Structure 1
Amino acid sequence: MDLKANTTLYYNTYAEDFAQSTLSVDMSDLYQRFLPLISPSGHLLDAGCGSGRDAKYFQSLGYEVSAFDASSELAQMASNYLNINVDVLTFQTFNESDMYDGIWCCASLLHVPKVELMDAISRLRRALKQHGVLYMSFKYGDEERIKEGRFFCDQNEQTINQYLAGFDVKDMWITGDQREGRSSELWLNVIVEKQE
């Protein structure tokens, strides 16, 4: 079974429903931890942007914003919403260097299998400028699983550390899910800064 293909198929199939269920979620607490670490004129990448909700907020503050998503349907919706070209890419095919002041990976890297996660995060690190900042969030836990047709790779404070070579950890904290009726679902949030 191709886990990535199945997960992408899920998002292509349910793009409209997914976008509607996530567009209005209040992410302000996360923004307030991430954005003070970014220059006001910085270039941000929303990696796995989904509906484009977070990228839209960054645009509203005057940041230069780029975005990609593995789902062609969501990328098209986000392109229309953001009025920019949103590329159809996976973390495994993303390949840029020294481009971004900040990269935002909200609930996106969690679909990358553990055996590919080191490479994915290394690619993101390469795409950051020196002292660029990366935000990541994962469902809290330590297992790989399939739920409702989507693949998840969960992380906790211990398991994530093996992927953070070359970064300085700025912040790591646990939050409840912001969506209605899901506050008991926990998330691991990580903010790291690229080092030499």
Structure 2
Amino acid sequence: MMSDWLSDTRLSYDTVASSYADLMRGALAGKPLLRGVLAMFAEAVLAGGGPVADLGCGPGHLTAYLHDKGLDAFGIDLSPAMIEIARRDHPGLRFEVGSMTGLALPDRSAGGVVAFFSLIHLPDEEVPVALAQFHRVLRPGGVVLLGFHVGDEHRLKTEGYGGHPMKVWVHWRPVDRMAAWIRDTGLVVDAQVVLEPDAQVPAGILVAHRP
């Protein structure tokens, strides 16, 4: 049985998939700091090799960007509608429906894992579950990149991306809490930073590796 929060998240993003995909096209063009973070991640993964799993890939814009940086990137998303769009827009890349809390990937099979603003919908008790999955699928030396909303609150999002109805929780979390959860899995934190700390919703970035 799929948990209620998973079912609600999947249905919500199925509903907004087309509008969200339109919004995300070219989204990185005006984000030089985020592109810099992705370039750092790409260089770290290329040093050790291996495929990269983009978890919560949505319509595949980030997966395609990482592929263009030379990575063997593929995407996984909870929403079948998102995956359908990703396959349509990026036909040369691999996309699969799946959940980051139960990845259908072999142990030590990935050189990198990206969860770019996709952990924001997981309840607190499920974040360590997902991070343990990231640790499991990473090869030794493999790199994980997390992006998330910085803060300490939870809100129910009932509408978004073109005014479509949604029922999905959005979680803001302190950087130190996210870093502690990462360390608890056995991953080693290499970098943590807050982008645009004075913005209404600052962006937290964490980079870690499996020793």
Output the TM-score relative to the length of structure 1.
0.88
* More displaced 10-residue stretch of structure 1: 108-117 or 1-10: 1-10
Give the one of 8, 24, 27 matched to 1:25: 27
Instruction: Report the secondary structure of 2:46's partner residue.
Output: coil
Alignment match, 1:58: 66
The CA distance in 2 between the partners of 1:175 and 1:20, in whole Å, is 24
**Unaligned stretches of 5+ in structure 2?**
29-33, 159-166
Q: Does 1:194 align with 2:201?
A: no
Alignment match, 1:154: 172
Alignment match, 1:167: 187
8 Å Cα contact 2:98-2:104 kept in structure 1: no
Q: Residues 63 and 33 (structure 1 numbering): CA distance in 2 closer, same or farther, change over 3 Å?
A: closer
Give the one of 139, 150, 156 matched to 1:140: 150
Q: Shift of residue 81 of structure 1? A: 2.2
8 Å Cα contact 1:55-1:82 kept in structure 2: no
Give the one of 113, 123, 127 matched to 2:133: 123
Q: Shift of residue 125 of structure 1? A: 0.8
Q: Shift of residue 80 of structure 1? A: 2.0
Give the one of 185, 193, 196 matched to 2:201: 185
The CA distance in 2 between the partners of 1:112 and 1:141, in whole Å, is 15
Q: Identity, % of aligned pairs?
A: 21
Output the TM-score relative to the length of structure 2.
0.82
Q: Shift of residue 88 of structure 1? A: 0.8
**Unaligned stretches of 5+ in structure 1?**
178-182
Alignment match, 2:42: 35
Q: Which runs of 4+ in 1 moved over 6 A?
A: none
CA displacement, residues 118-162 of structure 1 (integer Å, 9 cap, x when unaligned): 111000110001010001111111233312332123221221133
Instruction: Report the secondary structure of 2:132's partner residue.
Output: helix
Count of matched residue positions in the alignment of Structure 1 and Structure 2: 190
Q: Which amino acid aligns with 1:112?
A: L
The CA distance in 2 between the partners of 1:63 and 1:34, in whole Å, is 10
Q: Which amino acid aligns with 2:134?
A: L
Alignment match, 1:3: 5
Q: Which amino acid aligns with 1:119?
A: V
Alignment match, 1:180: none
Give the one of 51, 69, 77 matched to 2:77: 69
CA displacement, residues 62-95 of structure 1 (integer Å, 9 cap, x when unaligned): 3212211001000111122222341111112214
Give the one of 91, 111, 118 matched to 1:108: 118
Q: Residues 171 and 109 (structure 1 numbering): CA distance in 2 closer, same or farther, change over 3 Å?
A: same
8 Å Cα contact 1:136-1:190 kept in structure 2: yes
The CA distance in 1 between the partners of 2:53 and 2:204, in whole Å, is 20
Alignment match, 2:100: 91
The CA distance in 1 between the partners of 2:189 and 2:117, in whole Å, is 19
Q: Shift of residue 30 of structure 1? A: 2.4
Instruction: Report the secondary structure of 2:99's partner residue.
Output: coil
Instruction: Report the secondary structure of 1:93's partner residue.
Output: coil
